[in-house]
Amino acid sequence: MASKLETLTRWVDEVAALTRPARVHWCDGSDAEYRALVQQMLATGDLIELNQDTHPGCYLHRSHPSDVARVEHLTFVCTTDRENAGPNNHWMAPAEAHAKIDALFDGCMEGRTLYVIPYCMGPIDSPLSRCGVEITDSPYVVANMRIMTRMGAAALARIEREGAFVRGLHSTGELDPERRFIMHFPEELAIKSYGSGYGGNALLGKKCHALRIASWQARTEGWLAEHMLIVGIENPQGRTHYVAAAFPSACGKTNLAMLIPPEGYRRDGWKVWTVGDDICWMRPGADGRLYAINPEAGFFGVAPGTSTATNSNALKSIARDTIFTNVALTADNQPWWEGLPGTPAVDWQGRPYDPANGPAAHPNSRFTVSARQCPTWSPRAEDAQGVPISAIVFGGRRPSLLPLVMEARDWAHGVLMGATMGSETTAAATGAVGVLRRDPMAMKPFCGYHYGDYFTHWLSFDRPGAKLPKVFHVNWFRKGADGRFLWPGFGDNLRVLEWMIARVEGRARGVETPVGILPEPGELRVDGLALAPGALEELLAVDVPGWQAELDAIGDYLESFAPRLPARLRAERRRVAAALADDEPLAARA
């Protein structure tokens, strides 16, 4: 299978001339092709067959120990004007970047197969979807892209009809950390990645295209490409509200996307529908509402912490036809990670398990699986027009100050909430764990242009005729004086979503505070919860001096994006700060 599109075939020929592969294979996305790739990787040791009685169609891949997470310090946005990349990105001039990385690509595929992967991000017939082509020398990448995107003949047909696509060139190279770069050229709609086989660096349809390049496309074309899950909440009356929610990696996105209602809620008829767990593309519809698609077709989830107690739907999803990366093994060849029953026999590096070597599974070990295998997969996930979004939720991992839930008073306040959210870092990115960093809209590693321009783009959706979602901020991770979490989280987070939906439908009054609208006493259902005495009051308390210090820190942070910081956002911060100063009696109420 080759292409009738001359620009595509010419590009493939140019890349082949540079990289000099032994052969070129155009991927068709068929079952037979996938089976052949698996057999090839089993023969080379790139894949290890797992226990086919307990996990049919499942395999394990082990990364090089230096190649286990995204490498933000080696990830560049290469725009002609440095200012357009912004202080939130590492920048390199396009000519310099092309020269540097093309020197690495020179001859890098000798003796290897060059795979051409046509793919579609989003439902194949959706006007919201965008296509790309990834060239790679990694059969592991091909197998994962088949799961994570709509890949193959149908995608190629759409590319040939439209004549436009994002170009992605990838090689694992030598897996040398000193010869590793992930380059983005948004003005060219192009990506070049060298020296890594890890998902976020190598599956170019994922973070590279669906966020960094797509965020640039979205600003140009009038939509939003966001690091958000999409979940549908169906009430006992059969009405479904769709919620988009942004959390930094490993802060519970997948758990929320596949949430299992508490027993009482299930008995009453509440249901949860999973549309996506990581990326959301939203576009205004003819009726003024925002409509969203999940551009991905699969889940690339963090394995540790996934258990029957935390996310049984995820466990059910990955019981078959799944690629595991950097997990441990039991003695009978089942995948294992911390949080699962049983005992690991072999760690993620293939060594006999020894606690002295650290965790059995890498903290950022992963599973790749088709979204259709999720028991709560939404029948509307493939809707070409997308699903209407009722609420946008921002959240982070904050041990103090941020209440369990608060609603923005309007869109500008919601953008401020998203622009200033912070979270403790996790193992999903290289570097220290547990450090608080600002992560606007959970897009800090993924926004493909200047954050000041990004905030301006968000604010631009507030226009006459728009019926925008309500905006909320949540914090599942607030701790008490004893260091324990005050809120049980997981399935009980539906209680908070229920209040949000009541606010969307006008059935909950809430209480106005300077920092946002909080639930009135009695509005948040807590029946059946074993909350510590005073825990709910602490979860919803507004610490005025603490918030005043927070607003000062937020002001300093926002000014780092001047002179492109929108004046409306600066004014909104001043409004909240003034409201705090005027509301001293609030301290007594808290």
Q: Which residues contact 561 (CB under 8 A, 6 or more apart)?
A: 86, 87, 88, 450, 451, 452, 455
Known binder of ligand: residue 84? no
Backbone dihedral region for residue 321 (phi beyond 0: left; psi -120 to 50: alpha; all else: beta): left
Looking at residue 147, its pLDDT comes to 98
278 assigned ligand-binding residue = yes
Q: Is 207 annotated as a binding residue?
A: yes
Q: Which two tokens stand for residue 251?
A: 């802060």
205 marked as binding residue? no
Q: How far is CA 168 from CA 173, 331, 423, 469, 530, in A?
A: 15, 40, 31, 34, 51
* Model pLDDT, residue 586: 45
Task: Determine the Cα–Cα distance for residues 442 and 420; give it in Å rounded to an integer.
Answer: 10
Binding site annotation covers 250? yes
Supply the pLDDT for residue 73: 92
90 is in an annotated binding site: no
pLDDT of residue 590: 42
Delineate the domains of the chain, giving CATH numbers in brackets: 6-47+67-215 (3.40.449.10), 226-294+381-589 (3.90.228.20), 298-373 (2.170.8.10)
- Give pLDDT, residue 433: 64
Q: Which DSSP letter does residue 483 get?
A: S
pTM, rounded to two decimals? 0.95
State yes or no: is 374 an active-site residue. no
pLDDT digits (tens, 9 = 90+) for 336-370: 999 999 999 999 999 999 999 999 999 999 999 99
Q: How far is CA 459 from CA 282, 389, 408, in A?
A: 14, 17, 14
Q: How far is CA 419 from the centre of its chain?
A: 17
Residue 395 annotated as binding site: no
432 beta partners: none
Instruction: Give the containing element (helix H, strand E) for 184.
Output: strand 181-185
- Identify which of 181, 128, 178, 184 has the alpha carbon closest to the alpha carbon of residue 158: 128
Helix H segments across 149-213? Answer: 153-162, 199-202
Catalytic residue among 27, 78, 251, 374: 251
- Contact between 164 and 237 under an 8 Å Cβ cutoff? The reply is no
Does residue 397 have a known ligand-binding role? yes
Q: Which of 241, 304, 161, 298 is nearest to 507 (CA)?
A: 241
To the question of whether residue 357 is assigned a binding role by annotation, the answer is no
d(CA 451, CA 559): 11
The full DSSP string for 8-53 is HHHHHHHHHHHH--SEEEE----HHHHHHHHHHHHHHTSSEE--TT
Three-class DSSP category at 563: coil
| Beta-carbon count within 10 A of 359 CB | 17
Q: Is 573 annotated as a binding residue?
A: no
So what's the pLDDT on residue 12? 98
What pLDDT, on a 0 to 100 scale, did the predictor assign at position 589?
41
3 state SS for 370-421: EHHHCCCECCCCCCCCCEEEEEEEEECCCCCCCCCEEECCCHHHHHHHHHCC
Chain-centre distance for alpha carbon 56:
27
196 annotated ligand-binding residue: no
Residue 579 is labelled as binding a ligand: no
Q: Check the annotation: does 490 bind a ligand.
A: yes
517-543: pLDDT as tens digits: 999 999 999 999 989 999 999 999 999
Q: What residues of the chain score a pLDDT lower than 50?
A: 586-590
